[in-house]
Every structure is written in C-alpha cells, then in structure tokens.
Amino acid sequence: MAEGRQQRRRESGTGECTQSQRKEKARCSNHDATHTLVLFADGELSEHWAKASANSPKTRLVKELGDRNIVQIACGDQHAMALSRGGELFSWGWNTHGQLGVGSHIRLTRKPQLVERLKGIPLAQIAAGGAHSTTVSLSGAVYSWGKNSFGQLGLGDTKDRDRPTYVGALEHWKTVFISCGADHTAVLSKEGLVCTFGAGGSGQLGHNSTQNELLPRVVAELWGARVTHIACGRQYTLVYVLSLDKFYFCGSDDEGQLEDERKPNQLIPLPINSPVNTEKSCQSNYHCRCIQSVFVFSMEMFAFLISYLH
C-alpha cells in the first residue's frame, strides 16, 4: 500500500486467510484458494498452488521482487500482481486475456513484469478477479484490464484489454476501494455509495436482475446506507454498513462459505448474520476469516483515502 502501516493484510476478493509461524505481512488468494501469495515481514514473497503443474511448481519464491519493497499483493486465478513502495506495479502468470497489463506479446511468464502504462501514477490499491485486474490511484481514478466478457472492466463493451485502461465512467466517483469477483467488480465511493458491473447471472451485482452490466451502475438498494466496506466472492458481493453494524449480501454462495442460508440467487442486497462477529464461525471457516481480514484492510484503506481526497 502507499503506507506501510496499512499493509498488515491484503486480500484480493475473498480467498484463504491464515497465519503461519513465520511472521506474515500480507496474504492473498483467489476465490477458491487454489492460488495464494504470501508476503513475509522480511520482504520475501512466496507463491503457492494447490497443485503443481508443468508451468509452475506447487510452491516457489518470487526472488525477482526480493529487493523491491513490496507493500501490496493481489491474486487472480492464474495471475498475480505486486505493488512496490516506490509505486511500481508488477504482474506475472498467464496472460490469456491481457490480465498482466503488459500487452499481448506474452502468453505466460513466471518472471514479474513491470506494468509500464501505470508508471508515474501514484497507486493506492490493487485488486484481481478471475482473469481481470484493477487498480485505484491516490486521486480516486480507476484503471482496469484483462478479461471483459461480461463487462467487468466497466468500459461499456465486452472487449478484452491488454493494458490498463482508465474507467471514464467513474471519473467523478472518488473511488476509495475496489474489489473483484470472478467476473464482476464492485467499487466504493468516498460518500459510501456502491456501484457494480460485469457478470450478473447470480444476482451478484445487486440490481434486482441477472443481467450483466457493461458500465458501473449504482446499487440502488444501498442508496443512503453509507457503506464503509465491500468484498467480492466468486459470484457474490458483500458490503458492511458501520452505522448499522450490518452486513448485506447479494449473489450466490453455492459453496456455503458465509454459513448463512440464502436462496441460490439473491438479486438485491439483504442483511445476513455477521461473519465477523461470530467467533466460532470465524475460527472454523477459512472464508469467514478472510472476509474479516478484507474488512480490516478496507477500513484502513478507506480512512487513508478519505483523508487524501478531503
């Protein structure tokens, strides 16, 4: 992150979140925890896969970033990103949809690549979906790239982008936090509004429909609620309203990761039992622990950007 004190934990989407004996600075994983990054306090970064493949061992050290002072990490299904304190963004992994942001000439690389198009832009946060990537600048500008089959880049079409592209529809939004599902994206504004875009087939966009949205659209059901935190699962969106001390959920939680009974496709955000305040649930459910970590991070991020944008 832009400030080291805000990097105690970083989760992309809502994947695995556990502590090891070695002191961790940040940990992130994709939505089903098959791909994980761990940043240790000594600056070492390791990458883990649920299964080894011909292209990648099950565990490896990302030695190329050892001297880059990495402060934030993000993990997609087949790609990863890391942000340095100096503001450089690096990406590696599969690039089948342009999710690395370095053009289309590379299909797969295990060596971190500098995302040249974002050089000179002070970045505040990064997030990765299944095969798309996003970032928020300190001024609240949003950039997206990668897979766009459902409009998850928020650019008004379904064309993939192989380099970071400014999301003009959010120009006056003053974004303070962004989260990515497998094929959808949620954005939180300084004023506490939430807009979503991308795949809506499971109701994860919260617009009382299963239609995809190619442009950012405000979640009307949350209007006036002043949302303070957001997190996306593979096919759902979870938000928290601090003033009400309530979590709201929309979409599909087919894997039962929230331990809350919902109908298959929840089309509008409705209150759920708090996964953060239920101690027994959080101890037994890795997904719940991750959600807790996501909201800790986003609270810090929200406070930091609010002060910056004020």
Higher pLDDT, 3 or 214: 214
Comparing 207-216, 250-259, 293-302, the range with the smallest average pLDDT is 293-302
Residue 21 confidence (pLDDT):
60
Residue 275 confidence (pLDDT):
55
Q: Give strand ranges (E) for the chain.
A: 24-29, 35-40, 45-49, 59-61, 70-75, 79-84, 89-94, 108-114, 123-128, 132-137, 142-146, 161-166, 175-180, 184-189, 194-198, 213-218, 229-232, 236-241, 246-251, 266-272
Query: What pTM did the predictor assign?
Result: 0.83
Q: Over the stretch 52-107, which tens digit does the pLDDT of each residue have?
A: 777 778 999 999 998 999 999 999 999 999 999 999 999 999 999 999 999 999 99
Tell me the fold of 4-309.
Methylamine Dehydrogenase; Chain H (2.130.10)
Q: What is the domain partition of the chain in residue ranges? A: 4-309
Q: Using CA atoms, how far apart are residues 310 and 305, in angstroms rounded to an integer?
A: 8
Comparing 26-35, 172-181, 246-255, 264-273, the range with the smallest average pLDDT is 246-255
Residue 53 confidence (pLDDT):
77
Residue 10 confidence (pLDDT):
35
**Mean pLDDT score across all residues of the chain:** 83
Reported as a pLDDT band with limits 50, 70 and 90, residue 5 is very low
